[in-house]
Amino acid sequence: MTIRIDEKKIFEAIEHKKPRSVALNAPEALIPKLQDVADHIAEMFGIQVYIIGDTCWGSCDLNTHAADMLAADILFNIGHTISMDTFGQKVMMIDAFDDVSFDVVAKKCARDLVGKYKTISLVTDSQHLHKIDSVKKIFEDHGYNIIIGRGRGQLRDAQVFGCEFYPAYNIQKQVDAYIFLGQSMFHSASVALSTEKPTFMLDPYFEEYSEVNEFAQGMQKKAVLSIYKALDAKRMGIVIGLKEGQFAHVRALELKKEFEKLDKKVQMIALTEITEERIQNFKGIDAFVQVACPRIGTDNHFKKPMLSVPQALSLIKLLKKEPIDDFLKIQHWL
């Protein structure tokens, strides 16, 4: 993996704003790279640089509180390319693109799917956004019609998050299949679930592609099972995530009211990291709802049901004896 961090933008910002200290934050896999960036900043500018080692899942997990405590004048959030350059006064978004080539795997996939699908859409995560044009050309050369979904909110054209898929969702009636660029079941399976269209993941490292719909169905089954397991819960815990971009206090209180109307006892919990280890500390609770990141319950193991907002809304419908429809076939799982 060759990740290229846009250090130039960092240096220009430091030259322009002349901070006394800065903080760096990125996904875990990039921490060794952050250490290099920190060394370069210290050598060039002689200012204090802090690396925030806490998790940083996305633009929903910015850690500005940590930067404030450290009195850092700028917080560089690295590796989450979105449609915005800055957040508030302090946070600056810095691109980190992966230089790996999709040429081999895209040609292989384009050759194999000829005749099966005519119109396809390309989607990806932030690291591979700059590869969309070259992969588009490969598929077009093989005779496909390519539609690139328009961005919305923080999402750029063709970009998806693990819980937000506007560029894919909004064009589903026009496309036969989706191709996700990158080695991420996390993102590609969610595209498959929100659109219910054939979805293929192009893995540029192994130079293989695979259809992810079966995996996505497994994820959906697990999500449905958790809802049914929570049906008989007498006491529920509603967990408010304390990460700033995931903070949904009002939503949590709305759900509490709904569950109480349905005779559930509800305890309100606040947590920064919602993990099985932390959850195990709470006794006498039969099922949990967390209003932070919709993927916490689907992508991690919890002994008790840990429902996301769409799952909790489905549970409420079931308790009211209403049918639950395709609760994951929506454009934003919140």
105-135 in b/e burial notation, b at 16+ Cβ within 10 A? bbbebbeebeeebeebbbbbbbbbbebbeeb
* Nearer to ligand SF4 among residue 155 and residue 266 (C-beta): 155
Residue 120 or 185: which CB sits closer to ligand SF4?
185
As measured in angstroms, the least distance from the Cβ of 284 to ligand SF4 is 28
Q: Mask: binding to ligand SF4, 8-47, rule CB under 6 A, as x and -?
A: ----------------------------------------
Tokens 């060759």 appear where? 2
φ, ψ at 25 (rounded to 5°): -145, 140
Can residue 75 be called a binding residue for ligand SF4 (CB under 6 A)? no
Q: Does 163 participate in binding ligand SF4 (rule CB under 6 A)?
A: yes
Which residue from 126, 195, 246, 298 is in contact with ligand SF4, where contact means CB under 6 A? 246
Alpha helices in the chain (DSSP H): 7-17, 31-45, 64-69, 103-113, 132-141, 166-169, 185-195, 213-230, 249-261, 276-279, 296-299, 309-319
Among 187, 190, 194, CA closest to 170: 194
Q: Which is nearer to ligand SF4, 144 or 165 (CB)?
A: 165
| Smallest separation (angstroms) from ligand SF4 to the CB of 281 | 23
Count, residues near ligand SF4 per rule CB under 6 A: 10
Q: Round to whole Å and give the CA distance between 69 and 80.
A: 23
**Contact region with ligand SF4 (CB under 6 A), list: 67-75, 89-97, 134-142, 160-168:** 160-168
Answer for which of 19, 27, 58, 297 binds ligand SF4 (CB under 6 A) is: 58
Of 10, 24, 49, 57, the residue at the interface with ligand SF4 (CB under 6 A) is 57
Residues 262-301 contacting ligand SF4, CB under 6 A = 293-295
**How far apart are alpha carbons 310 and 296 in whole angstroms?**
13
Q: How far is the CB of 297 from ligand SF4 (least distance, A)?
A: 11
Would strands 74-78 and 21-25 be described as parallel, antiparallel, or unpaired?
parallel
Rounded CA-CA distance 182/127 in Å is 8
Only segment of 52-60, 171-179, 214-222, 268-276 that touches ligand SF4 (CB under 6 A): 52-60
The CA-atom distances, in angstroms, between 7 and each of 21, 72, 98 are: 16, 18, 14
Check residue 235 for interaction with ligand SF4 (CB under 6 A): no
CB 307 within 8 A of CB 290: yes
Contact positions toward ligand SF4, by CB under 6 A? 57-58, 60, 161-163, 246, 293-295
